[in-house]
Structure 1
Amino acid sequence: GLDFDALQMRLHPAASRVAKLAKATPASFVAFDLLAADGRDVRALPQRERRTSLERLLAGAKPPIYLTPMTTDRALASDWLTRFEGAGLDGVVVKPENGTYEPGKRAMIKVKHARTADCVVAGFRWHKAGKNRLVGSLLLGLYDDKGALQHVGVTSSFTMAMREQLAIEIAPLRERALDHHPWRDWASADDMNRMPGGQSRWSAGKDLSWEPLRIERVCEVKYDHMQGDRFRHAAVFLRWRPDKPPSDCRYDQLEVTTPYELEKVFGAGSSRPAGR
């Protein structure tokens, strides 16, 4: 299936390193729209014409060049939404047939899965606009089958008023939080792989320092897709779960996605009603 973590590691400023990574982790090119052909700008053409031209241009394409499947059949698209997730895709994209390509505008609809999970709130980061006053994000954790609390992502979709309220609400949980915290070793760890505050080439210049909280709070969040054992995108905070103990927040609550071969995704082709 798709591995976005591996793809990100392909990006590097040094040409020699790029060449080495290209051999070690080969990538593929997947076309999903056409902006120009034979020196002609086609962005003003409707989506259906751009797609027809793209299919014609790539009719003889072979791996590692692929064309995304397309359909106007809603039932088939719904089936793809379910099956293709197992190959690493987190949804399907819906475009109006007569729509032109509009740079910088969200002229399409992304349809994703909506799921919820109860997570341990194990730490937080301050908001850049108000350290010691506004919470930027909450660090989320789930227990694995060995009983270890793993960092699975963050939730940060709060209004400014809620950020201020959160700072007050979690203040008592900051007291002596590091004493028995399962992530205490990360405070001075050399291995930054799983550290919530760890820097990477993608976060250069950002303040990712974090503060631990006593393992007492649980919140319910909405997420769309897992990338390995973490949420691919930031989760959406839904509510506190005072009725649920942190020990109940385990990976086994998550929906298991049936694996699906990526080659079958690109072999799905195009589907239109007759006459189009």
Structure 2
Amino acid sequence: MRLPVMPPVKPMLAKTAARIPPGMHYEAKWDGFRAIVFRDGDEVLIGSRNTKPLDRYFPDVVDAALRLLPERCVVDGELVIATGDHLDFDRLQDRIHPAESRVRHLAATTPASFVAFDLLALGDESYMERPLTERRAALERALADTPAPVHLAPATTDPEVAAGWFERFEGAGLDGIVAKDPAGRYRPDERTMVKVKHERTADCVVAGFREHKSGPIVGSLLLGLYDDNGRLQNVGVSSSFTMARRAELVDELAAYRIEDLAEHPWARWAEAEAHETDRLPGAVSRWTGGRTLDWVPLRPELVCEVAYDHTQGDRFRHTTRFRRWRPDKDAADCTYAQLAEPARYDLADVLNA
């Protein structure tokens, strides 16, 4: 492979803002795997955010790149999978599987798409030092009338249009807006972009915690919500604490620790079949290479308020942010009913925006 921009390349990153800034280039924030696709003739490499290759897990995207991308190019974008009219991050995670036969099966049954939003190189020319306006124009020309599964990410310079996308596109599984400097050059691994994400709050049961990797202090709180059948489901974690706060939490949680797991709602956490019907912490998975995820059970009585951006199925999509304890709340009132559900929006309409 001989390209003017050679792998590995780390993608540009974004810093968080509370509001959509004015005077920028705006795109939807996709909920997928960030990917930089390098194509040189018959060779294709898909680099991840941390530069590890993804092409072995996405043979369908490699095939699409060979058919639909310019013969020699480097394109930044996002790998996504849709279920119906909605992005499905869980199906995307399924692709990271050690068995090639399984990957090939999933590529055929749940094919992925590539949403392109930046151009790093085309032919013999590097575009990394060119302003975004030039990179975007060249990308639009290069991908004009390109069919699925390669898509050109919708973009606008109108902040009111971006605000409308922020409200509507969440219903298709997207999670915010990215704002970029129209005159900015491509800066790998630098937070030169701005991301604006949805934030909501929910009251959750704290039913356990995991210790921090550095020692016997709190690493993350295990959060639960009650479903319609009265079962406490593990919906995610909260883990953004200072080291001093992690030590304080050990003392705050001490009175709720239990030694006998038998009466705990997640008592069957170590049984593989239990995970087929309930969301439970721990258990062996291919992600951990057979290592058991140990956790400390707590009486499911403590309630805390956390901030979250959006949900994926029956769990929080990302790590939540601890806001405060809620001693005034009954654990039994912490149900899925409090979670906001955005109005559904067709993913096809996003791609055609």
**Pairwise CA distance, 1:190:** 4.5
SS of 1:124's equivalent in the other structure is strand
State the Cα distance separating 1:253 from its structure 2 match: 0.8
Give yes or no for the alignment of 1:124 onto 2:209: yes
Structure 2: runs of 5+ lacking an equivalent: 1-85
Q: CA deviation at 1:178?
A: 2.1
Contact 2:258 2:297 survives alignment (8 Å): no
**1:102 is the counterpart of 2:187:** yes
Aligned counterparts of 1:175 and 1:71: Cα–Cα separation in 2: 54
**Contact kept in structure 2, 1:219 and 1:241, CA below 8 Å:** yes
Structure 1 residue 202 and structure 2 residue 300: aligned?
no
Distance 2:184 2:324 in 1: 38
Q: Give 1:223's aligned residue.
A: 308
Question: How big is each residue's C-alpha offset from its partner over 1:16-36, in whole Å with a ceiling of 9 and x where there is no partner?
Answer: 332222111111111011111
What is the letter of the counterpart of residue 252 of structure 2?
Answer: E
The residue number in structure 2 matching 1:153 is 236
- TM-fit CA distance, 1:207: 6.2
TM superposition score normalised by structure 2? 0.72
Letter in 2 for 1:183: W
Q: Does the 8 Å contact 2:306/2:324 carry over to 1? A: yes
Which residue number in structure 2 is paired with residue 185 of structure 1? 268
Match of 2:157 among 72, 76, 79: 72
Task: Say which of 177, 180, 204 aligns to 1:92.
Answer: 177
Deviations, residues 36-81 of structure 1 (Å, cap 9, x unaligned): 1113211111111111111111112011111111011111101101
* Runs of 5+ unmatched residues, structure 1: 269-276
> What is the SS of the residue equivalent to 1:35?
strand
- State the match for 1:274 in structure 2: none
How far apart in 1 are the matches of 2:241 and 2:219?
Answer: 8
Partner of 1:158: helix, strand, or coil?
coil
Among 225, 243, 248, which residue is 1:165 paired with?
248
Q: What CA distance in whole angstroms lies between the structure 1 residues aligned with 2:291 and 2:268? A: 22
Would the aligned equivalents of 2:175 and 2:310 in 1 still touch at CA under 8 Å?
yes
Answer yes or no: is the 8 Å Cα contact 1:176–1:214 preserved in 2: no
Q: Deviations over 1:126-177 (max 9, x none)?
A: 001012xx10000001111111111110000000011000011101111346
> Helix, strand or coil: the match of 1:50?
helix
Aligned residues: 266
Greater mean deviation of Cα atoms: 163-172 or 4-13: 4-13
Shift of 1:197: 1.1
1:196–1:203 distance in 2 versus 1, CA, 3 Å: same
Cα displacement string for residues 198-238 of structure 1 (whole angstroms, at most 9, x for unaligned residues): 34333448762111100110000000010111111000001
SS of aligned partner of 1:49: helix
**Which residue of structure 1 lines up, in the alignment, with residue 226 of structure 2?**
143
CA distance in 2, matches of 1:212, 1:56: 57
Alignment partner of 1:19 is 2:104: yes
Higher relative contact order (CA 8 A, sep 6+): 1
Matched residue SS, 2:162: helix
The whole-number CA distance in structure 1 between the counterparts of 2:260 and 2:152 is: 51
Q: Which moved more, 1:192-201 or 1:246-255?
A: 192-201
Return the alpha-carbon distance in structure 2 between the equivalents of residues 168 and 27 of structure 1. Answer: 47
Query: Distance between the aligned counterparts of 2:138 and 2:299, measured in 1?
Result: 58
Letter of the 1:139 counterpart: L
Amino acid at match of 1:50: R
Q: Percent identity?
A: 59
Contact 2:233 2:280 in 1 (8 A): no
Structure 2 Cα separation of the partners of residues 16 and 155 of structure 1: 36
Query: TM-score, normalised to structure 1's length?
Result: 0.92
* Structure-2 change in CA distance of 1:125 and 1:54 (3 Å): same
Residue matched to 2:113: 28
SS at match of 1:186: coil
Alignment of 1:57-68 (within 5 A): 57-68=142-153
